[in-house]
């Protein structure tokens, strides 16, 4: 990455050398010399014409002398050197343009790159298994070479990030958490890293955000109170521990940060509605351990699998060329107007996939499939390995279903915008 910026700086210097020095040296003197030379040539031509007319008797001697004096006077007037101050505005104007270009050209180039360039294009790449466009390696050989590189240079933050994301992709969540632990020691003021650390630790803890993941999220929000991932996960953590007002507070902040009408916005809005429903039922803000003792009706076992949704996921032929066999495949059920409830994680190479979703796969103890009457099933191919949809992901969405539906046929046939 450093070499890239050095090359860019050198190219900018070369470009400026072609423009700035000529403008800096430019004055009005050269133009004045050219103008004087042209005027002298015109004067000579006009004198020669008058001499010819005099010889041919077409011009009286008196008129000849008068015309000659007028030409000489005009030539002297136009050839007179301008006052010294006359050159200053032109010189000052040229120098001002030179200074402006010297400042604006580098700023504009850097600004354009920062806006439309790919700043992750120069993440470390490992021979035999280069990092893909999402900052991950995909083979064990490449992973070993990356770890060897870190053994030689343990302060390489970019390589630690590459290692952590690669472990997440491979579903080695405990290893990913260790890598993020090291990375946050090297870059302690980066809120996104603390949020990703919390996510990895939660996955390593069996998808539970209680305990250390919550502390990591608090650290992320201390650094950046508007980090969307940290806020979203903090809301889920609050739901998990039964603090529904806190969940509403976190998610109401997130809803202002995500695009309207996006899949994220719909899920967050559904989560807010569910949390408010729990508050209305008298579960407002008490930790789960402090809530009232469940009634005999509430102690009855779950529906024994009656909520299970089964079916088959396929990838449409039109999109087959856009998926890598090792890309992550999520099949998840969510409330028709709410958050995700249950999910399974596979890979594209497992397609066509027969799936089953039930309460045992619940993403939160408080949000089970059997608690909802209307759900939809989503199948999504994610190259980033993140369950949150990203532009370019491939997905298919079912119609509204009831828990217990079977034989659902779901085709991945659209691209997330």
Do 173 and 254 lie in one domain? The reply is yes
User: How is residue 207 annotated by DSSP?
Assistant: S
Residues 153, 92 share a domain: no
Confidence bin at 311 (pLDDT 50/70/90): very high
Higher pLDDT, 94 or 397: 397
In angstroms, rounded to a whole number, what is the distance separating the alpha carbons of residues 35 and 81?
11
Q: What is the largest CA-CA distance in the chain?
A: 136
Task: Examine the domain organization and report whether 272 and 316 are in the same domain.
Answer: no
112 and 145 assigned to the same domain:
no
Lowest-pLDDT range, 95-109, 165-179, 180-194, 330-344?
Answer: 95-109
pLDDT band at 372 (very low <50, low <70, confident <90, very high): confident
Q: Are residues 195 and 246 in the same domain?
A: yes
Question: Is residue 184 assigned to a domain?
Answer: yes
* Residue 197 within any structural domain of the chain: yes
Q: Who's near 146: CB < 8 A, 6+ residues apart?
A: 124, 126, 137, 159, 162, 163, 166
User: Do 112 and 183 belong together in one domain?
Assistant: no
Average pLDDT over residues 243-253: 90
Which of 56-70, 113-127, 402-416 reaches the highest mean pLDDT?
A: 402-416
Examine the domain organization and report whether 162 and 254 are in the same domain. Answer: yes
User: What's the domain count of the chain?
Assistant: 3
Q: Is residue 132 part of a domain?
A: no
Which CATH number does the domain housing residue 152 bear?
A: 1.25.40.10
Q: What is the per-residue pLDDT for 230?
A: 92
Torsions phi, psi for 344 (to 5 deg): -125, 150
Using the 3D structure, point to which of 251, 286, 321 is the last residue of a domain: 286
> Is residue 102 domain-resident?
yes
Task: Using the 3D structure, point to which of 116, 149, 184 is the last residue of a domain.
Answer: 116
What's the average model confidence in pLDDT over 87-97?
59
Pick the closest to residue 241 from 204, 273, 202 (CA basis).
Answer: 202
Answer yes or no: do 364 and 250 share one domain: no
For the segment 119-155, what is each residue's pLDDT rounded down to a tens digit? 545 444 433 334 444 456 767 888 888 888 999 999 9
Prior bond of 104 cis (ω within 30°):
no
What mean pLDDT is reported for the chain?
A: 78
What is the predicted pLDDT for the residue at 78? Answer: 66
pLDDT for residue 365: 64
User: 302 lies in a domain?
Assistant: no
Q: Is residue 23 part of a domain?
A: yes
Record the pTM: 0.51
Contact 381, 328 (CB under 8 A): yes
| 145 and 265 housed in the same domain | yes
Q: How far apart are CA 25 and CA 139, in angstroms?
A: 58
Structure-token pair, residue 152: 């030689």
* pLDDT above 80 (res 407): yes
Whole-number Å distance between alpha carbons of 346 and 124: 27
Do 270 and 318 lie in one domain? The reply is no
Note the pLDDT tens digit of each residue in 172-188: 889 999 999 999 999 99
pLDDT band (50, 70, 90) for residue 282: low
Final residue in a domain of this structure, among 286, 321, 342:
286
Q: Predicted confidence band at 302 (pLDDT cuts at 50, 70, 90)?
A: very low
Length of the chain: 417
Average pLDDT over residues 269-296: 62
Please tell me whether residues 184 and 274 are part of one structural domain: yes
Mean pLDDT within 3-32: 70
Residue 354 has pLDDT above 70, yes or no: yes
3-state percent helix, strand, coil for the chain, nearest multiple of 5: 55, 10, 35
| Residue 62, domain extent | 2-116
Residue located via tokens 């996921």 = 313
List all residues 6 or more positions away from 181 whose beta carbon is below 8 Å from its beta carbon.
197
């Amino acid at each position: 990455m450093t070499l890239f910026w050095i090359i860019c700086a050198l190219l900018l210097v070369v470009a400026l050398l072609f423009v700035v020095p000529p403008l800096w040296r430019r004055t009005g003197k050269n133009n004045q010399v050219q103008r004087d030379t042209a005027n002298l040539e015109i004067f000579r031509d006009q004198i020669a014409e008058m001499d010819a007319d005099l010889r041919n008797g077409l011009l009286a001697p008196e008129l000849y002398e008068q015309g000659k004096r007028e030409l000489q006077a005009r030539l002297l007037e136009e050839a007179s050197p301008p006052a010294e101050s006359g050159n200053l505005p032109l010189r000052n104007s040229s120098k001002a343009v030179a200074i402006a270009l010297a400042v604006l050209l580098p700023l504009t180039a850097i600004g354009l790159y920062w806006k439309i360039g790919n700043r992750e294009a120069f993440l470390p790449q490992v021979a035999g298994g280069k990092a893909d466009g999402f900052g991950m390696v995909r083979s064990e050989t490449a992973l070993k070479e990356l770890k060897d590189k870190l053994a030689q240079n343990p302060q390489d933050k970019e390589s630690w990030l590459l290692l952590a994301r690669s472990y997440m992709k491979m579903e080695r969540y405990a290893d990913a958490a260790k890598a993020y632990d090291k990375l946050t020691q090297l870059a302690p003021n980066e809120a996104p890293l603390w949020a990703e650390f919390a996510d990895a630790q939660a996955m390593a803890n069996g998808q539970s955000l209680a305990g250390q993941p919550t502390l990591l999220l608090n650290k992320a929000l201390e650094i950046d109170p508007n980090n969307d991932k940290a806020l979203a996960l903090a809301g889920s953590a609050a739901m998990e521990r039964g603090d529904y007002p806190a969940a509403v507070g976190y998610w109401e902040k997130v809803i202002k940060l995500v695009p309207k009408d996006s899949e994220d916005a719909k899920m967050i809005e559904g989560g807010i509605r569910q949390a408010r429903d729990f508050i209305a039922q008298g579960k407002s803000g008490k930790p789960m351990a402090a809530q009232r003792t469940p009634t005999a009706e509430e102690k009855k076992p779950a529906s024994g699998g009656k909520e299970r949704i089964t079916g088959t996921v396929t990838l449409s032929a039109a999109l087959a060329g856009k998926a890598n066999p090792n890309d992550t495949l999520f099949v998840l059920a969510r409330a028709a107007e709410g958050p995700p409830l249950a999910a399974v994680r596979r890979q594209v190479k497992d397609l066509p996939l027969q799936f089953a979703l039930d309460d045992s796969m619940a993403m939160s103890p408080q949000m089970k499939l059997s608690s909802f009457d209307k759900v939809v099933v989503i199948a999504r191919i994610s190259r980033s390995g993140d369950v949150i949809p990203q532009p370019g992901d491939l997905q298919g969405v079912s119609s509204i279903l009831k828990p217990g539906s079977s034989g659902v046929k779901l085709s991945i046939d659209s691209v997330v915008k």
